[in-house]
Amino acid sequence: MKSRWVVTLFLLALAAPLSAQPRVHVEKLADGVWAGAPDKGANVGWFVLGDGVIAVDAGADAATGEAILKAIAESTGGKPVRAVVITHAHGDHAGGARAFAAAGARIICQESIAGQLLALVLQSKGGADDPLTAKPNAKPVVEAISERSIMVDGIHDAQVFFLGAAHSKGDMVVYLVNDKILFIGDLAANGRMPFMQSPDVDPDGWERALAALSHVPVDKMVPGHGQIGPTSGLLESAAYVHAVNQLAHKFVAAGMNDELVGIQVHAPENQIKGLETSEEHVLNVKAAVRVEREKVAKKAATPAPTPATPAKK
């Protein structure tokens, strides 16, 4: 009896640290290119550039960020992580940036979210195991890109670009030209409905961003959410965002209030083919209606330009 307890305690002691460490399911996408699906938060990616590594997104929290850094070290033979590109300032993508800063990586984002991201990185969760608390001399710096940045080493040609506000105000994608691999953040998802309820969402801008990306040859896509690899989510997400926008434009033009929108979205003529009208879909439509209403109101409030007086000769 006693020995059984000893064995049980021994197994519990073994299991405790293992369960506390977040896991990252790693997939190799090409030579020197990987993607990972952590237990918590959005998918991430990384690739070798020169003698270091560039990561895309940082996981949901510092512990996940550290687990991603461990997976990066294991897959690349311990190459240093030079930078992490944060696709946007949502916590499930950016929460782990603190661990990357502590590891000495530069933090790169779109300029409209630089302050927001720095605040997120500096926000301490406390605890002796916090990666930045452990390094009091580390002073994180966030670097911002306004529209485009290119990083080349003769093997990988990495293009980071901003296509305008879409899923949020500061979405960036990372495209590896030679490998035709696209890290798309939350602009597209595989097998899931895009999330359109961010307070800074721009549904029309999102449609334009995905239309621009439809011209880019993509063999493998790493979306923030859903399966890593397939590219089908690119067209599916574009079709969904377009359909939601059409509904939002129609509902706002008809002057519907939120209550009516909630009813009308279930009407047969407003159903999206092949899509169940879930609560999530209704919330997406309501969010798109809110933005469209604001745009219409802003347009109405802008005084029409007065015709220029012809110059006297």
The residues of the shown chain that bind Zn ion, judged by CB under 5 A, are 90, 186
* Closest to Zn ion by CB, 22 or 95: 95
Do the Cβ atoms of 194 and 167 come closer than 8 Å?
Answer: yes
Token couple for 53: 């590594």
Name, in order, each residue with C-beta under 8 angstroms of 180's C-beta and a sequence gap of 6 or more. Answer: 217, 218, 219, 220
At 151 the three-state DSSP class reads strand
Catalogue the E-assigned strands of 3-64: 24-30, 33-38, 44-49, 52-56
* Closest to Zn ion by CB, 71 or 201: 201
Q: How far is the CB of 167 from Zn ion (least distance, A)?
A: 6
* Closest to Zn ion by CB, 53 or 163: 163
Q: How far is the CB of 224 from Zn ion (least distance, A)?
A: 6
Q: How far is the CB of 92 from Zn ion (least distance, A)?
A: 7
Q: How far is the CB of 182 from Zn ion (least distance, A)?
A: 16
* Closest to Zn ion by CB, 201 or 285: 201
Q: Is 178 exposed, middle or buried (0-12, 13-18, 19+ CB in 10 A)?
A: middle
Name, in order, each residue with C-beta under 8 angstroms of 32's C-beta and a sequence gap of 6 or more. Answer: 47, 48, 76, 155, 156
* Closest to Zn ion by CB, 100 or 195: 195
Q: How far is the CB of 89 from Zn ion (least distance, A)?
A: 8
Tokens 């109101």 correspond to what residue?
297
Q: How far is the CB of 280 from Zn ion (least distance, A)?
A: 14
* Closest to Zn ion by CB, 119 or 260: 119
* Closest to Zn ion by CB, 186 or 236: 186
The CA distance from 228 to 43, in Å, is 8
Q: How far is the CB of 13 from Zn ion (least distance, A)?
A: 38
